[in-house]
Structures are given as C-alpha cells and as structure tokens.
Amino acid sequence: MSAPAIEVSGLDKYFGQFKALDGLDLTVEPGQVAGFLGPNGSGKSTTIRVLLGLLRSDGGTARLLGGDPWKDAVTLHRRLAYVPGDVSLWPNLTGGQAVDLLGRLHGRADRTRRKALLERFELDPTKKARTYSKGNRQKVALVAALASDAELLILDEPTSGLDPLMESVFTDCVHEAKRQGRSVLLSSHILAEVEKLCDTVTIIRKGRTVESGTLNDLRHLTRSTVRATTEGDPSALAGLTGVHGLNVEGADVTFDVDNDHMDQAFRALADLGLRSLVSNPPSLEELFMRHYGDELAALNGEGAAK
C-alpha cells in the first residue's frame, strides 16, 4: 500500500493573532477524490496554500506525496497541478499563451489533451486574459492543470465561476482523472458537486476538522427521512427508539430515523401493511447543516432580534 497523497494532522496556522487553522486533519488516499468542505473563511484555501508550500505551518504535520510541502516544494509541484479559487492571469497574454506557459513552468504538458480540453471547455485561446470573465480565467487554469500529467490535482472551488454546462464538463473531467488513477483534492461549498464526485469528505469549521470519512460513513452517523403509506394506524411508531419528528396525516406518515435503528422502524412499518415507501438518505446538505446549524440559528436569531 502506497503512502497517502495528502496527509495532514494537527495543522496550525496563525495570521498575527488570528488562528486560521486549529489542529486540522485531512487525508487523501491515492486514486481517490476527496471533498474538502467548509463555509467561507473556514480555512480551506489556507490549508491548500500550506500544502503548496506558499504558507508555512505553525504546528502539526503535513505530508504531500510522501514529501515535505515546504522543503520539497519544487520537486513535489512537478507531480501536482493546482487550480486556485480566484484565478488571476497576465492581462496582456492570451488564454492560449497562459495555458502553454503554465504547462511549461510545470514541466510536461500534453498537446493533444490541451487541444481536446480547450474544445470541451469552449475556451477561445486567442483572447487576451484581460477580456476574460472569472469563469474563463478559471477554465484557463483548469485546462492547464488537466492537460498536465500530474498525479495529484488540487482544486480550490474550481467551478465557482462556471455555468452548469461547464460544470458537467468539469465533472466528466474529474471522473476521467480518477479513472487514470490520479488523486484529487476538491475544495468546495457546493454540496451537490461533492456528493456527485467525491469518495471521501472532510468537513471543516473554523480551521478544525469536524467530520471526515466516506459519504456512507458519514450517513451512518445521522438520520434518513422516511415517507410511507400504511394500511394500519402509524401513530404507534412514535414509541420506537430512534424515530423522530413523526407526522401522521391519515394513512400517510413521515418521520426521521437514526440510521442504526432503521431496522426496527421498517419492521414496524411492514407489520402495519406497507403500501408505499420512500426513504431518502441524509443529503450532504443535512450533514453540513448539522455542523453549521447553530451558526445559522444564531444568524436567524440575530435577524429576529433586530
């Protein structure tokens, strides 16, 4: 078994008095697509910049492709490609020139792949970067990164400026990268994107990891929503352990159930004479809300107090 592509534990980073990273943990196994979730300002980009050797950590350990991200920066960078969240380019270079330059600075770039990617992302390489929109600048960095033969892709909110069509092209490209055996770290706050693409998810908050594992692992920790129609009266379900928020309207019932008590709940439903059943696993959004719900409540409370 090879070393993790990214292995971060207990990472600290201060900006003056402000503690941006507070014992953050993050692991990306080789060949996996890892989602890196957190609200704005939670430390995603800071973590990535430490991993790229642009910032120096103040504590904890960070390993990248088996090396030290600060000391071995240049050798490691040959093996990875990075797409920043807000791409700024040289205004007087065309998109095509920027793609080539980034490719050359990186080392190797595949001409055929470059051409194919430009077409797929519908990027006009003859336009000066100064005339590009945010999405087009992002495409330039994406094309350069994906055309490289990097074994690790670090993508910081790469789709924040892309339209839905381009987002789906991007999704395909990440799937391809995974098939080619590359590892991907995808930071995002678009939950659907992470749900669609990622094998594992790390959720951070205020510079600290609050949840990490595969989506399935995370789902086990929480509740599913069940909607059913039964022949008998479903009110009896209220007494079951692990069932919450029971709502009965005639023969229709909806409730949430802890995933480790699912078994009993479904048995009870079956005994009542089940006519229809829909069960939704918790969405990432619900997972996310569970960790940030109090912040939201505080915000709402504040709004109400005004």
Residue from 11, 21, 62, 102 touching other proteins (CB under 8 A): that is 102
45 binding other proteins? (CB under 8 A): yes
Amino acid at position 245, single letter: G
Member of 6, 34, 43, 49 binding other proteins (CB under 8 A)? 49
CA–CA distance, 111 with 113 (Å, rounded to integer): 5
Q: Which stretch binds other proteins (CB under 8 A): 28-36, 89-97, 237-245, 253-261?
A: 89-97
| Separation CA 19–CA 291 (nearest Å) | 20
Does 74 interact with other proteins (rule: CB under 8 A)?
yes
Please tell me whether residue 119 binds other proteins under the rule CB under 8 A.
no
Choice between 86 and 231, CB closer to other proteins: 86
Residue 152: count of CB within 10 angstroms of its CB:
21
Per CB under 8 A, 127 contacts other proteins: yes
The C-alpha atoms of residue 208 and residue 203 are separated, in whole angstroms, by 9
Is residue 159 within 8 Å of residue 167, measured between CB atoms? yes
Select the span of 73-81, 205-213, 221-229, 284-292 touching other proteins (CB under 8 A). Answer: 73-81
Q: Candidates 29-37, 104-112, 229-237, 263-271: pick the segment binding other proteins (CB under 8 A).
A: 104-112
- How many residues touch other proteins (CB under 8 A)? 43
Question: Coil, strand or helix: which one is 94?
Answer: strand
- Token code pair at residue 275: 């006519």
Q: How far is CA 140 from CA 79, 118, 189, 199, in A?
A: 19, 8, 21, 26
Longest dimension (CA), the chain: 73
Nearer to other proteins, 98 or 253 (CB): 98
Binding site for other proteins (CB under 8 A): 45, 49, 52-56, 73-75, 77-78, 80, 82, 84, 86-94, 96-102, 104-107, 124-128, 130-131, 141
